[in-house]
Amino acid sequence: MKPSKPQPPATFEDKFFLYLLLFVSAAFVWLLSPFYGAVFWAGVMAILFYAVYAWFLRLLPGRFNSAALLTLTIILLLVILPLSLVSAMLVQEANLLFSNLQTEKASFSRYLQDFYALLPEWVHGLLARFGLTDMALIQERLSSGLSRASQFLATQALGIGQNTFEFLVSFCIMLYVLFFFLRDGASLVARMNRQLPLQAHVKRDLAGKFTTVIRATVKGNIAVAMMQGALGGLIFWLLDIHAPVLWGTVMAFLSLVPAVGAALVWLPVAVYFLVTGQFFEGVVLAAFGVLVIGLVDNLMRPLLVGKDTKMPDYLVLLSTIGGMALFGLNGFVIGPVIAAMFMAAWDLFAISRDGLSASQANESASEDRPD
């Protein structure tokens, strides 16, 4: 292996051009920041559906615009239209649920007292140990919490109504950018590879890790969350539990956060059924939650994500929660991507420092990984 030639010292013009490059890049990112969500999701959808675009392009050789438009139509029919219908049903059920809670506070208080009276004595003792026996205080706190939740939802609904135009603009921008990401994606990736000041194998590994994590996060996490939410909503509808779409959506959302899961919704309901004497509903819901909803994650996630691309559970949890705290709903994808790129960059740094090849590094990591 020949030693690399010494690089000449950087001139003033080189340093000035580097600072100029950093400045215009930061200014460009700042310019696009109002629509970062639209651009980000356009990139995510382009990565997920690029295989569909390539399939259409094989059917229609040379007709890049037609293939991109057909792929965009598939995305609208299979993703955006169902999400719009579910969102409309969700808003309707949420409004009905919270209006009922506001008008039936007396019934809610009676249900709470009946539920407490049916609990066994050892549960009463456990609640007394934590100071949770004052039913009036608990009712007041629950009512206050429900009132704040309803006010929050009302505020958010008002904000969505006031920002409808902004949402439509962002949505149209996403579709517009998605079209060009599909059509010109290969050339854009090739241009980025030429312009990044990194070695070829580093760029290849980072790009592969990025696309792998995007696909794993969206295909794995969202698919599992949608499946668990759909199953939870189905069993709630079959058991005639009010607002099944709302609770199914809540279960899907909780499924996105590791170590939390949909059991936070269906388990209290199953316990309520069992305590109040509705043994059939309680047993059916508990069995369905454990044997069906609970196993979806264990069965589907390895198939959709794969063992080699899965990060440690604690890192997924921290990156997901931290991403959502910083970036909102987009953060459940952005957070794990940042964490995965962090791990990949440091792995590549260790490889270059130790002079190992990628295969040797992978063998060393597999030997150090516990069974």
Does the pLDDT of residue 108 top 80, yes or no? no
| pLDDT value of residue 1 | 43
In tens, the pLDDT along 92-103 reads 766 666 666 556
Shared-domain flag, residues 258 and 295: yes
Asked if residue 28 belongs to a domain, the reply is no
Shared-domain flag, residues 180 and 251: no
Per the structure, how many domains does the chain have? 2
| pLDDT value of residue 70 | 93
Average pLDDT over residues 207-226: 75
| pLDDT value of residue 28 | 87
pLDDT confidence bin for 69, thresholds 50/70/90: very high
Asked if residue 129 belongs to a domain, the reply is yes
Shared-domain flag, residues 204 and 97: no
| pLDDT value of residue 370 | 47
Shared-domain flag, residues 209 and 276: yes
In tens, the pLDDT along 131-186 reads 665 556 666 666 666 566 555 555 555 555 555 667 778 888 989 999 999 888 88
Does the pLDDT of residue 25 top 50, yes or no? yes
Shared-domain flag, residues 190 and 226: no
Asked if residue 246 belongs to a domain, the reply is yes
In tens, the pLDDT along 236-291 reads 888 888 778 878 888 887 777 665 677 778 888 888 788 777 888 888 888 888 88
Indicate the pTM of the whole model.
Answer: 0.65
Burial degree of 233 (CB within 10 A; 0-12, 13-18, 19+): buried
Q: Where would I find the H helices in 62-104?
A: 64-75, 81-103
Shared-domain flag, residues 275 and 334: yes
Shared-domain flag, residues 145 and 269: no
**Radius of gyration in angstroms for the set of CA atoms belonging to the chain, rounded to a whole number:** 26
How far CA 157 is from CA of 150, 154, 179, 276, in Å, comes to 10, 5, 30, 35
Range of the domain at 250: 199-354
